[in-house]
Amino acid sequence: MRQSQLFPKTIKQAPAGAVAVNHKLLVRAGFVDQLMAGSWTLLPLGWRVINKINNIIREEMNATGAEEVLMPLMHPKEVWEETGRWNSASEIMYKLRDVREKDLALAFTHEEIVLDLVRKHLQSYSDLPIKIYHFSTKFRNEPRATGGILRGREFMMKDLYSLHATEEDFWKYYEEVKEAYLKIFSRLGLNAIMTEASGGVFTDKHTHEFQVEAVSGEDTIYVDKTGKGINKEIFAGTEAEYKKITAIEVGNIFAFGTYYSEKMGVYFTDKDGNKKPVWFGSYGIGPTRVMGTIVEVFHDEKGIVWPESVAPYKYHLIGLNGKGEDLYRKLQDNGVEVLFDDRDVSAGEKFTDADLIGIPFRLVVSDKTGDKVEIKNRKTGETKLESLNVILHE
């Protein structure tokens, strides 16, 4: 991508009132734009990051045997009444009425939709387990949207749902997803602390959150010596034995047992010929919140420092003295992800923007570099001259 064509340009001043680091940096560097409180456009750079995050999640979901789908975001009232959540989740659910006076809800989660889907297709124990997930927008009427993109009223979520014939099979998969989640966060460059938390009305102690330590975190958790966390809301230990930290919740997994299945009549015929309700769980990660969290954790005074796995591009090529075209073409031809700063602006402006945007490796070609290329690591600041071939072969 040529930076001269990239929309939009970076901006020097952070938005008025912006306090959260992710808010300031993501807006200044041109990754996101705010429409209203809790509602953001993912701009070209931001969308690339989200896709990187989603692809990592997708790979690990698929590795557990789950299949990707896409479910509707506008739901009929009736399906939500079956579980009682049309009323009980009123505060968080956006409701609307169309011109035919039909009551609708905007998706804040998809348990009811999945169960409605499955009951139409589920007959026998041999149809189970079913594991489906999707990436989609969630609408939640948060009392207070805050922290840049960390807490929005409209945000992206990957939600996985699994349905099982037996409790044993359910817990086996639950553990599998737990491991998959830890792997996902590790690949995203984050150290996620698996944390026991209260599960709300319908869940027992088997609810787990994935928390990332950050000074800007909204949650307080206690971490034991093995690295496991306990959310403050259920903490009953002695403070001296734990490390108390603030953290951002980037994922959460829920075990529902057969509660919802029974409410919605999701039964199958078991081996013994009896009808039984399915065991049900859901598993969520918020990619947009993950992006914000990464910025909260990985930045310095100059800008963002993206982990390589989620960076919008691997290389930021800066051409000085009118150079760089040849190298840009070579990198493109070799399928290397590169943002080429071909703009007619000063070297200083290019360097400053590169630091702000935070792509892992900066390449400079100029009169100074001769037939070599200067490569600088955004994270360590380490700089060295390399030949073209070394870079192309990396």
Q: Interface residues with RNA (CB under 7 A)?
A: 10-20, 23, 28, 34, 36-38, 91-92, 108-109, 111, 140, 142-148, 199-200, 202-203, 218-219, 252, 254, 256, 260, 282, 302, 320-321, 346-349, 351-356, 364-369, 374, 376, 383
Residue for token digits 């065991």? 279
Closer to RNA at the Cβ: 13 or 126? 13
Strands (E), 272-329: 275-277, 279-285, 299-300, 303-304, 315-319
Tokens of 139: 């609408």
Instruction: Please say whether the dihedral angle defined by the alpha carbons of residues 341, 346, 347 and 349, taken in this order, is positive or negative.
Output: negative
Residue 30 is classified by DSSP as: T
Task: Return d(Cα 357, Cα 10) in angstroms, integer.
Answer: 9
Give yes or no for a contact between 152 and 39, defined as CB atoms under 8 angstroms apart.
yes
Closer to RNA at the Cβ: 269 or 352? 352
CB of 100 to RNA, least distance (A): 27
Closer to RNA at the Cβ: 52 or 305? 305
Closer to RNA at the Cβ: 39 or 269? 39
Give yes or no for a contact between 148 and 23, defined as CB atoms under 8 angstroms apart.
yes
CB of 274 to RNA, least distance (A): 25
CB of 367 to RNA, least distance (A): 6
Task: Return d(Cα 381, Cα 341) in angstroms, integer.
Answer: 19
CB of 335 to RNA, least distance (A): 25
Closer to RNA at the Cβ: 12 or 120? 12
Nearest by Cα to 98 from 81, 74, 82, 116? 74
Closer to RNA at the Cβ: 218 or 326? 218
CB of 199 to RNA, least distance (A): 6
CB of 56 to RNA, least distance (A): 23
Coil, strand or helix at 172: helix
Task: Return d(Cα 279, Cα 162) in angstroms, integer.
Answer: 8
